[in-house]
Every structure is written in structure tokens, then in C-alpha cells.
Amino acid sequence: MQLLIRSARVIDAASSFDGQTCDILLDNGLIRQIGERLTADEGVRIIEADNLHVSPGWVDLRVLAQDPGYEHKEDFTSLCRAAAAGGFTDIAVLPNTQPVVDAKGTLGYVRRMAEGQPVNVHVIAAVTKKAAGEDFTEMLDLHHAGAVAFSDGTHPLQNPDLLLKTLQYLRPINGLLMNRPEETLLTRYGQMHEGVQSTLLGLKGMPALAEELMIERDLRLLDYVLGQEPRAKGREQEGTVPSLPPSPFSPDSLLPALHFSTISSAKSVELIRQAKKQGMLVSCDVAAHQLVFDDSALAGFDTNLKVNPPFRSPEDVTALWEGIADGTIDAIVSDHSPQDAESKNLEFDQAEFGIIGLETVFASVMTYNQKVSLSQIVDKLATRPRQILRLPAVSIAEGQVANLTLFDPTSTWTYERTHSKSKNSPFLGQTLTGRVIGTVHQKVYTHNL
């Protein structure tokens, strides 16, 4: 099958066509030709749109699949359709299913269910059995079975000895530990960010300190593990990220050993900024919705805005945007967490945490953008997430496998329906800026036109 993408502006720092408006001819899943006013065989499918942009396919580092075990909230068919509609060609799914992805059998089930889907599904396996924070899984076996990283997902690793030994265990295989930083004893029964708003609303708060303490702890443990290992060179200037080696599979590479998921506070950004300046092998991401809302949004007790980590102060939101701009924050994720009506249509303190976000990551970031360039946003959606997961590089060049996201950064549209089985999104019914046109995943083209 041939596809001809007409007059698309290329956004890809690794491509010689970056910033140029080109035609791209795709043939049988490969990029055959890039140029101006290309011709193609009769019957070729033509993709064109006003203000069309193209970038390497986007990667989401944090998706709660809910399958197996909670298929009434989401299954792999609905999940992958939502991911493709949001512009993602690759997603990494958390182990928090029923059963937990803590053994090769469950990991194999996920990989089989992902076959034939319009996106690549990468499995993050559990660090501990049942993600209970007690006994280790067979991480080496899971690694060889295809796990791209290890995390207890929605359950932060509370035991420092477990985290320390996991980092030590994964170093010889250049493995990645992902952890959501939260000291759960400080957030027990918490419903929202601890501050003036939580006091006014009469809801128990979740202090930013709970996140920041865990980041400090984990960085100290990482420093202890790295010991005398070579450190990444400090940044030559403020706002740049240490360069990565050409092969992400080298045991001597400078890829992150520890990744912080969904940071949310200004102090967290600063702690990670300083750690990177010291050359520590660390990375982090932020959920797209954390860049949009602050804790004042909860005044109406909308349970679709109940998330963990919670929306914090306006100052924290500004700091997160600054972290994206200067390279401290490596990736923007959906933190997609499908919840059915029975889990959300409750009093606020009884409702489950979580937002579905796969379809609105790009649009929410573009709508509420605080002066971050389009190239930087694409870097956080496509390039850095791929590097963090040790996935092969993707670039827009002749002869490369087609893995592309097509979008219009200025188009407005109304989010009227979702491909997800769940509807827990605060964006439903809203008009947003930044529309995904479609994706090309090898031989599969999905489109939203």
C-alpha cells in the first residue's frame, strides 16, 4: 500500500528535513521518498490537510491498560484506538492489572493481546510480586521476556532497601526503574493538594512534601548505587540535556537508571534539575493534565479532576512548564487511568483517582501552552520517551520504517466523544487547540479526519 503525505512540515531534530515542508511517499511501510511535488502510482492514497505537520511517532510512558482484570473499564482494543486517536504509535503500559504483570505468563498475555493493534504496546513489569512492595519478581526473566522497564506503577516503592537493591540488580542489564514518588504515610486519606484550597473545601490535603521527600531519598539511593561509575558530563549551559550515546543498548551508556513518573511540584523540578547538573542518571515526566489545572479547579468537586498526584498551586504549574522549557522534564505523558461511572459518580472523597488522557495530551498542552516551542513539545512526546525506554530511534528519512504522527498545531476542535470505554475526562465537551490528523504505524494508517 502506498501513501503520499502532501505538503507537511517536518518536526524532527534528527532529520535533515527538519523545519522543511515536504511531500513524503510511503510504500509498504517504508519511507521511500521525501521531496517536493512528488508523483505516485495511480490509486495511491493521498493525505493532505491545512497546516499539516509530521513528526516521529509519539510515545506515552505511562498508561494504565486495565486489561486483564478490569476490561469493563478498558480493553486493549479500546485502549489502542484511543492511543492512535491521540497521536501515539507506542505506549508503555503499567503492571497494575488483575493479575499484576509480575510473571512471564501475564506479560505474554499482554503482548499477545497487543498483536495487530494500531500502536506498539510495551510492557512495564512489576518490581515486586502483586506490586505489593514486599517480595521481588524475577526481573531478569521478565527482562528477557520483553519487559522494557520495571515499576510497581500506581504503587510507589516505599521500602528504601527494595529500591536500592532493584537499582543494583538492574545496572548490569542497563535496566530502567520507574517510580512515582510519594510518601504514602503523609498522604493517607488525602483527596487533593494540601493548601489554602483544601482548607476552604474541607478536604484532607496531600502535601507536596510527600513527593519531594521521596525524590530526595531516591536520588540519594541512586547516588549510592552509582558510586564510582562514570557520570554524565554536566550541561555546558543551562537548559540543555547531556547527549546520549548512539547505541541505547550499550551497558556503558548514559541513559537514565531511575525515572520519576508524574512529578507535580516546583521543588521536585528543582531537585531533579540539580541532580542532572551533577550528571546523575535520572529522568522524569509530567502528566499533561498537571500542566493545565491547579488546585483551584476542584472548587466544584468534579471527580473527573481527582488525580494522584493532585493538582497543585499555580506556582507549581509554572515551574513544571519551566522544567519542560529548560530540559529538566524529559517527557509529557497521559497518565491514562480509565475509571467507570461507578468509580467516579460518587461523593468526592469516595471517588477513585484518575483521568483518561490519551486523546487529549497534545491538545491540552497546545491549548494551555506557556511559551514552549513546538519542537520542544514534540521532543517530549516522541524523541526523549523513546530514548528513555531504550527503543530504537525513529527518524523521518528515506529508507526508514514509517512511524509517524500527523497533526495540526493550530486547528481547533471539540472533544465530543472518546474511543475509551471510560468517560472520566474533564476535557469532554471542551474546545481545544491542536488536532491530531492521524498516525502511520508501519503499514497501518489511522486517521481522525
CA distance 66 to 80: 12
Q: Which of 95, 106, 103, 178 is nearest to 138 (CA)?
A: 103
- The pLDDT-based confidence of 42 (bands split at 50, 70, 90) is confident
pLDDT at 41: 79
Q: How confident is the model at residue 253 (pLDDT cuts 50, 70, 90)?
A: low
How far is the C-alpha of 72 from the C-alpha of 381, rounded, in Å? 28
Q: Which residues are catalytic?
A: 335
The DSSP result for 108-119, as a single string, is HHHHHHTTT-SS
pLDDT grade, residue 445 (50/70/90)?
confident
Could you tell me whether strands 58-63 and 88-93 are parallel, antiparallel, or unpaired per DSSP bridges?
Answer: parallel
pLDDT of residue 392: 95
Q: Rounded CA gap, 175 and 167, in Å?
A: 8
What does the pLDDT average to over 218-245?
61
State mean pLDDT over 435-441. Answer: 96
Q: Give pairs for 142-148: CB < 8 Å, separation 24+.
A: 142/102, 142/103, 142/104, 142/107, 143/173, 143/175, 145/104, 145/107, 145/108, 146/107, 146/111, 147/107, 147/123, 148/92, 148/122, 148/123, 148/124, 148/176, 148/389, 148/390, 148/391
In this prediction, residue 179 carries a pLDDT of: 98
pLDDT at residue 236 tops 60: no
Q: What pLDDT band is residue 231 in, cutting at 50, 70 and 90?
A: low
> What pTM was computed for the model?
0.93
- For the cut 50, the answer to whether the pLDDT of residue 238 exceeds it is no
Q: Is the pLDDT of residue 90 over 60?
A: yes
- pLDDT score recorded for residue 233: 45
In the structure, what pLDDT confidence band is assigned to residue 227 with cuts at 50, 70 and 90?
Answer: confident
**pLDDT score of 444 more than 90:** no
The contacts of residue 6 (CB under 8 Å, 6+ apart) are 23, 46, 47, 48, 52
pLDDT, residue 1, reads 72
pLDDT at residue 243, rounded to an integer: 35
Neighbours of 348 (CB within 10 A): 16
Residue 48 has pLDDT above 80, yes or no: yes
Percent of the chain scoring above 70 in pLDDT = 94
Q: Which three cell numbers stand for residue 411?
A: 486547528
pLDDT in tens, 163-188: 999 999 999 999 999 999 999 999 99
Average pLDDT over residues 317-333: 98
Average pLDDT value for residue range 87-103: 98
Closest to 268 (Cα-Cα) out of 287, 254, 253: 287
Measured CA angle at 149 (ends 206, 337), to 5 deg: 45
Confidence of residue 379 (pLDDT cuts 50, 70, 90): very high
Flag whether pLDDT at 366 surpasses 90.
yes
Question: Which pLDDT belongs to residue 228?
Answer: 47
**Is pLDDT of 342 > 90?**
yes
pLDDT, the chain, mean: 93
Superfamily of domain 58-393: Metal-dependent hydrolases (3.20.20.140)
Q: Tell me: the pLDDT tens digits for 389-431?
A: 999 999 999 999 999 999 999 999 999 999 999 999 999 999 9
Residue 105 contacts residue 381 (beta carbons within 8 Å): no
What pLDDT sits at residue 229?
A: 63
DSSP string computed for 314-382: HHHHHHHHHHHHTTSS-EEE--B----HHHHSS-GGGSPP-B--TTTHHHHHHHT--S--HHHHHIIII
